[in-house]
A and B are shown apart, each in its own frame.
Chain A
């Protein structure tokens, strides 16, 4: 195993388990669990090793020619390590959670097989070194998440699956067209810090804008930019670990990450500003942030409220990307990580309530804090972090986004951020209030006992771990290798000297 092929091994560390798990008989529970956890752990180690290459400024790279003029490139650059690190970490926790969640449920081989395939696609998206390789894994992600969304096999799940496909396949077609248009006059565009399209003749600029619009539209479907977000709330019928995966680790993140790649590593932030591409993106992101928050306040189903919250929060990333200036960039990039950690915590908690108490509706949560103090504490941390209260992770993101807005000369964005924070508070604080300050008025709809702890340890450990990370990412933002420091490292490399 040579060091240069490290990106291929990162990919293989979830692709091979996927194949093995598909082949495992349903009954081999212990083998499957071991395989899952070993692969997740191994991947973390591999991603860490890959990040070391970035620090030494010698990123690992694997490439071969798929057909003349089309390269397959995996490269562990700084941005790739950011996303791969997030996915590897959260995959470990989500795997633990999913093992507990699916205890005794049917079709586990199929579930974990596609689960691993899904993470393999996400790793591919993170490591892709050019647009074609990115597209390849982006579509693979669509295909591997479909079986997870419809996993329960009910009419409702299948209807959600159909909506999911309609949006993502059409989005994929838009992305394909955008990439094809770009390729037709710029050739095989590799991702490169500060971008690589500056050399394109000015007569081609209109086509560059068309390609940008198509690509952002295609990526915007997965990133749930309004009005392309319709699939996300519907996909809530999926099992809780899948929701966590869709919302925090894989799907919406893949879209947001794609936007980051296109703006910084294809067009280059300076060139994108020259083409006047950034302001429309700022506006789209701002509209999404406010609209998602508004819709979240109207939901009474806990998971649906969280879903609309995702719509809103993921667009912070696009917002940061579109604000010209290093501070905005830092805000957007760091939120890629912070939103993942916080949202995954909230979804674990929603799953814990549903699995332990049978609670799905917010109005049934009264007094749950006394029955499940640890889960409720984690939920509170996640919620308060989302609102942006210091010193939690969300605050760091919002602080840099605000500074970035001023730096880019869009002070109105501050109003968007403040409005969003107020709305965040309006839909999260009532839940926190119900958890801690109200008494249970009725027996829990469907209570299960897990012995000594408030819920299964499979659930509790990931929930507490990500909650701790939410606190840590804020408190220790100044330490080396914190998300913030890594985002700063990327930012230093993305702007022209």
Chain B
């Protein structure tokens, strides 16, 4: 059912947008009576959309009945529907964390703008997931960048302001490069809809320059090594729920765009050398991010560097998505999709748990966590569960993803990626166990600040879902395969 005009698709963008407006009318620091219905509506829409796509397949919608090229076309494939659902769930968890925060967290006057920016970010994310053409992706990406920068500044510290400025400069540069690239593509092909571009790019100079600009811009926004410099300070300095959203979802937006462009019309130009190049940068990210996480003194910076490393896995999958047999490509697709979702759940859980731990010991330093295992067992347990997924240890979504990527690498004889995947897991174990080591030390007593129990529960729920994803991956993978690019979908569409 390609043309079923379901209003659920625009609703997934409109609902958070509506609440962005509602909360902006009279900005308040805490507005549970307004926020909670919004979250409920958002989650319901996303869940309905997910089950609709699961039952009906890829669904398209032309906003306002306008056709291309000026109309806004939206398209919900399995990836878009799943990420919309994951976004709604993680955003709700982050919102609950925020609502449960003690009043001291709302001292800064910018805190009033949290909710409008929060919902705007959600609308922008859904916009990127559901966009059917390069221009809508651009609009979504811009809104995303601006609202993300705004949310970083809500923390109010000078460190956060500096990080936000740096983030903004990187984001602006990235989206300008992307815009130029898109314009050049339009000059070559006269359309921006991914569906109309499906015949594939030709290797003209304009197209190559355009692809280079788009790729550079999006890699900068995804913080792919070595363009990752802006990410750790921004993700480290923001409030915990903001860091969680940024690391779990925002960086994935530009990655999904890259994937849609390169595996869609760009797949004929994704020659092995280019694909392997992505893989090498991904391996660099795993090594560098892991190494930095090993030696950073502050907990949130450790977690932020871990994001740099985990994003590397997504790029290591690129050579396996093209430069391999059909079965291996299918396995790599499953792996990279699962990694996107599992990392989103695990990393948001880890940031929320870290926020609770940091608040409890009133220090950012890993070494100051001594004795926290006794005082904050639930938060530490949530941290541990999410770490299991990040390390790629079973049972967890991270493990299943790694297993599928391993299978793809082995089936295509690309042993270099086998060792990168395994080495990355060991490096991750190295830095997360720094935290446990510190927390099991018997430290001084009675210097802990009490934190809301709800914080721990929210983090635990996210972490547990990252674990469950590992043993119950059949249904999510089934949906994620719907509408997969034909280049990887040969075996997927129809095959068991």
Contacts and interface: CB of A to CB of B under 8 A. Distances in A.
B77 interface: no
B5 interface: no
Contacts of A177: 406, 418, 422
A66 B496 contact: no
Contact of A180 (B410, B436, B477): B410
Contacts of A29: none
Most buried by B among A109, A136, A172, A176: A176
B373 interface: yes
A143 B394 CA distance: 10
Given A67-B400, A143-B393, A173 B440 contact: no
Interface in A377-423: none
Determine chain A's interface SS by DSSP, over half rule.
helix
Contacts of A147: 373, 436, 440
B441 A158 contact: yes
Interface residues of A, number: 40
Given A72-B471, A135-B394, A172-B393, A184 B433 contact: no
A284 interface: no
Contacts of A474: none
A139 B394 contact: yes
Nearest to B400: A67
Interface stretch (A81-89, A162-170, A249-257, A264-272): A162-170
B473 A110 contact: no
B181 to A, nearest CB: 36
A107 interface: yes
B395 A65 contact: no
A184 B411 contact: yes
B496 A180 contact: no
A56 B135 CA distance: 68
Interface centre among A143, A162, A181 (most CB of B within 10 A): A143
A181 B429 contact: no
A136 B388 contact: no
Interface in B353-392: 371, 373-374, 377, 381, 384, 388
B407 interface: yes
Interface in B377-434: 377, 381, 384, 388, 393-395, 400, 403-404, 406-407, 410-411, 418, 422, 425-426, 429, 433
Given A67-B400, A172-B393, A154 B334 contact: no
A158 B374 CA distance: 16
Contacts of B381: 22
Interface string A334-360: 000000000000000000000000000
A142 B425 CA distance: 15
A68 B373 contact: no
Contacts of A173: 422, 425-426
Contacts of A140: 394-395
B441 A176 contact: no
A106 B410 contact: no
Interface residues of B, number: 37
Nearest to B393: A139
B196 interface: no
Nearest to A172: B393
B470 interface: yes
B442 interface: yes
A67 B429 contact: no
Contacts of B384: 143
Contact of A161 (B425, B437, B473): B437
A136 B422 CA distance: 16
A26 to B, nearest CB: 9
A136 B334 CA distance: 20
Contacts of A373: none
A66 B429 contact: no
A311 interface: no
B107 interface: no
A154 to B, nearest CB: 7
B187 to A, nearest CB: 43
Contacts of B338: 67
Given A66-B474, A68-B474, A110 B400 contact: no
A291 interface: no
B366 to A, nearest CB: 13
A154 B393 contact: no
B422 A176 contact: yes
B453 interface: no
Contacts of B433: 146, 162, 165
B385 to A, nearest CB: 10
B410 A70 contact: no
B426 A110 contact: no
Interface in A129-159: 132, 135-136, 139-140, 142-143, 146-147, 150-155, 158
Contact of B374 (A110, A132, A170): A110
Nearest to B423: A173
A158 B437 CA distance: 6
A268 B395 CA distance: 27
Which of A66, A132, A158 lies at the interface centre, i.e. has the most chain B CB atoms within 10 A of its CB?
A: A66
B31 interface: no
Contacts of A158: 437, 440-441
A162 B474 CA distance: 36
B472 A170 contact: no
Among B393, B400, B418, B436, the most chain A Cβ lie within 10 Å of the Cβ of B393
Given A67-B474, A110-B374, A161-B440, 10 more contacts: A22-B377, A66-B395, A66-B472, A68-B496, A106-B374, A107-B373, A151-B440, A152-B442, A172-B393, A176-B406
Per CB-CB distance, the 4 closest pairs between chain A and chain B, nearest first, are A153-B442, A67-B473, A184-B410, A136-B394
7 contacts: A70-B403, A107-B374, A136-B394, A153-B441, A165-B433, A177-B418, A177-B422
